[in-house]
Structure 1
Amino acid sequence: MSELTTLARPYAVAVYKRAKETGTADKWSDALAFVTLLMQDEQLAKAAANPKANREQFSEAFLGLCKDHLDTEAQNFVRLLIRNRRLDLVKYIAELFNQYKAEDEGYIEVDVSTAFPLKDAEQARLSSVLERVLEKKARLRVDVDPTLIGGVYIKAGDRVIDASIRGQVERLAKRLWT
């Protein structure tokens, strides 16, 4: 995965630089998210990766799906990715773009997985604690993962806090068997 992030970085830097110049960071973030969503479709991903596929025809067909969601600049960017056979990197480009945007705007995206839904007060308290620890405004993206059994799993940038029951059981098992 780090290799893919390395390949995606120049694209993300260029797009973010352009977004800052034009004041369209939110628009670009939405466009990248939309293309990432499209690329989750198995058939589209296979077609994009097919070395025998006609790139021009694929480009026009793909952009036909995006016509109402991408402006001219974003369409040109997608054409560039298709021409360079890098459309599969769009997920990583979007992630890096959003990291740059968050850094610039002084916040950090925090993915929080919990075994059970958090109440608003619990989310506010968690956000407050994370802001003190991370020394940045925290934007929480909370999802429920019952496989955690209990507790919470937090990922903020390259920092991970595993306070889940599943994580504790895995660490205990590792200690017992080593």
Structure 2
Amino acid sequence: MSELMTLARPYAVAAYQRAKETGSTGQWETMLQFLETALADAQLQQAASNPQADKERFLSAFFDLGQDHLNDDGKNFVRLLVHNHRLGLMPSIRTLFSHYRAEDEGYIDVSVATAFPLDAEEEQDIAGLVEKLLKRQARLTVHQDASLIGGVVIRAGDRVIDGSVRGQLQRLEKTLWN
């Protein structure tokens, strides 16, 4: 994983610098999300990684697919990745780009997994807790995970706060076995 991030870093830095220059970080984030989603398709991956494929034909077909999602800078970026055989780095590039944007804009993306739906007040409480702990504005993404049984698991950057019943049971089991 770290090798992929190392390879992806110069592309993510270049994309972020261009996005900052043009004042289009939001548009770039949307383009990179589109690219990551599109390239998750197995047939598209196979076509992209086929050394026998004509790169220009692939690019033409890909640009037709993404005509509503890519501007000229995005197309040039894809062209660069295709010609350098780095299209497979897109998930890492998008992750790094999002990290650079969050750092620069002073927020942190927080993933909250919960066994049951949260109301607005509970979400605000979690955001406040994360902001107090990390001294940065929290941007929450909440999703349900019934396997947690109860409670929440909060992921912010490389920190994980496991307040789930499943996590407590696992810690109890580990304690009992030791």
User: Normalising by the residue count of structure 1, what TM-score does the alignment of the two structures yield?
Assistant: 0.94
Q: CA RMSD in A?
A: 1.4
Distance in 1 (alpha carbons) for counterparts of 2:135 and 2:73: 35
SS at match of 1:70: coil
The one-letter code sitting in structure 2 at the alignment partner of 1:150 is G
Superposition pairs of residues 1-178 of structure 1, within 5 angstroms:
1-178=1-178
Cα deviation for residue 94 of structure 1 reads: 1.0
SS at match of 1:99: helix
TM-superposition CA deviations, 1:101-141 (whole Å, max 9, x none): 11111111111111111111100111111110110010001
The one-letter code sitting in structure 2 at the alignment partner of 1:122 is E
Structure 1 residues 42 and 130: CA distance shift in structure 2, 3 A: same
Distance in 2 (alpha carbons) for counterparts of 1:55 and 1:177: 57
Cα deviation for residue 160 of structure 1 reads: 1.3
Q: How many residues align?
A: 178
Structure 2 gap segments, 5+ residues each: none
SS at match of 2:40: coil
The one-letter code sitting in structure 1 at the alignment partner of 2:10 is P
Distance in 2 (alpha carbons) for counterparts of 1:4 and 1:62: 23
Structure 1 residues 176 and 47: CA distance shift in structure 2, 3 A: farther
The one-letter code sitting in structure 2 at the alignment partner of 1:165 is V
The one-letter code sitting in structure 2 at the alignment partner of 1:85 is H
Structure 1 residues 61 and 126: CA distance shift in structure 2, 3 A: same
The one-letter code sitting in structure 1 at the alignment partner of 2:51 is P
Distance in 2 (alpha carbons) for counterparts of 1:7 and 1:82: 14
Distance in 2 (alpha carbons) for counterparts of 1:46 and 1:175: 47
Of residues 53-62 and 114-123 in structure 1, the stretch that sits farther from structure 2 once superposed is: 53-62
SS at match of 1:36: helix
The percent identity for this pair of structures is: 54
Cα deviation for residue 169 of structure 1 reads: 2.2
Distance in 1 (alpha carbons) for counterparts of 2:52 and 2:149: 46
